[in-house]
Amino acid sequence: MIVVTGGAGCIGSAVVWALNKRGRQDILIVDRLGSGEKWKNLVSLRYHDIVRPDAFISGLSGGSFSPGGIEAVIHMGACSSTTETNADYLMENNYAWTVSLAGWCLTHAIRCIYASSAATYGDGSAGYSDDEASCTQLKPLNVYGYSKQAFDLHVINRGWQHRLAGLKFFNVFGPNEYHKGEMRSVIHKAWQSISSGSGYPLFRSHRPDFADGEQRRDFVWLKDVADVILFFLDHPDINGIYNVGSGTASSFNELLSSVYLAMDLAPQIRYVDMPSHLRERYQYYTCADISRLREAGYTAPFTPLQDAVQEYVREYLMKGAWLS
């Protein structure tokens, strides 16, 4: 059986979808569904069972889940809000829980793949290399990034990077993010706002080296992310911490223009001031260095931004569709 924590979330449900495409249904989903619409991510998916995280952890310590019956743990479960300010909550949920789960996997020789984040890179002044030396020098800009960085450092300090795989996800977008509120991708927010006739404003730049809307991100298509995760599932001998991005930095101007074009509309771009509380914590540029991922043997191309946006808008957002 394969355990997918956060299996009802955006990336987690995409992993379950990708496994289903392979004909696998022997999947245990670990997640909280809450009172929102996250459950809709699971409607078209096939899996063995779903349990809450607290019940899963209790089952591990109490012996309810036999290590011999678990092939791998794909740990995508975490609070992914970059604006969350409760440090105790983030450290308990994103750090301590991951320490316990990864430790259990290593004790029982079970493949473990976990989600880190590009938020660990902070303002990017230390670069975007995922080699071990660089990972230890990073200074995140928010407590979410710090919670992810704390576990990466835990892995490196204990030598676990030789026994499990950590994946630093950049700006992931795609279907099954409908439940995420303000943490949805810009593509989803822009499509919704443009559809209502309101347009979608971009932040002005508050740095002289970036023009308005030319802040750049490494936007990566959800289906590509799921494919990378399954690559590491298929190769348990490949371990370490790796960037998962497209390897290309695109501007928000390009991104928004792609949304308009996918909707067969002429781009109309306007700018608003960035809220003052975000200005010191805002990443103006991110771009995954994926050279180590390529060296590890992952050779599939990443979907170009405009192609991915077009598929997302036309095949999912306009149709109100989920991965199926």
Residue 308 falls within a domain, yes or no? no
- Distance of CA 27 to CAs 4, 5, 39, 101, Å? 7, 10, 16, 17
pLDDT at 78 over 90: no
- Asked whether residue 260 is assigned to any structural domain, the reply reads no
CATH number at residue 118: 3.40.50.720
pTM: predicted TM-score of the whole model, two decimal places: 0.96
CA–CA dist 272, 259 (Å, integer): 19
Instruction: Tell me whether residue 109 is in a domain.
Output: yes
Number of domains making up the chain: 1
Q: Please report whether residue 9 resides in a domain.
A: yes
Domain of 8 in residue numbering reads as 2-173+219-247+288-300
Percentage above 90 pLDDT, the chain: 89
Q: Which residues are catalytic?
A: 144, 180
* pLDDT > 90? residue 84: no
Assess if residue 268 is contained within a domain.
Answer: no
> What pLDDT was estimated at residue 213?
97
pLDDT in tens, 99-138: 999 999 999 999 999 999 999 999 999 999 999 999 999 9
Q: Where in 12-100 does DSSP place strands (E)?
A: 27-30, 49-51, 72-75
Measured distance CA(222)–CA(41) in Å, rounded: 14
pLDDT digits over 241-254, tens only?
Answer: 999 999 999 999 99
Contacts of 207 (CB under 8 A, 6+ apart): 284
Whether 189 maps to a domain, the answer reads no
Q: 257 lies in a domain?
A: no
Query: 275: Cβ–Cβ under 8 A, 6 or more apart, which residues?
Result: none
Q: Does some domain include residue 212?
A: no
* Residues facing residue 206 across a β-bridge: none
Q: What single DSSP character describes residue 295?
A: H
* Mean pLDDT along residues 38-47: 98
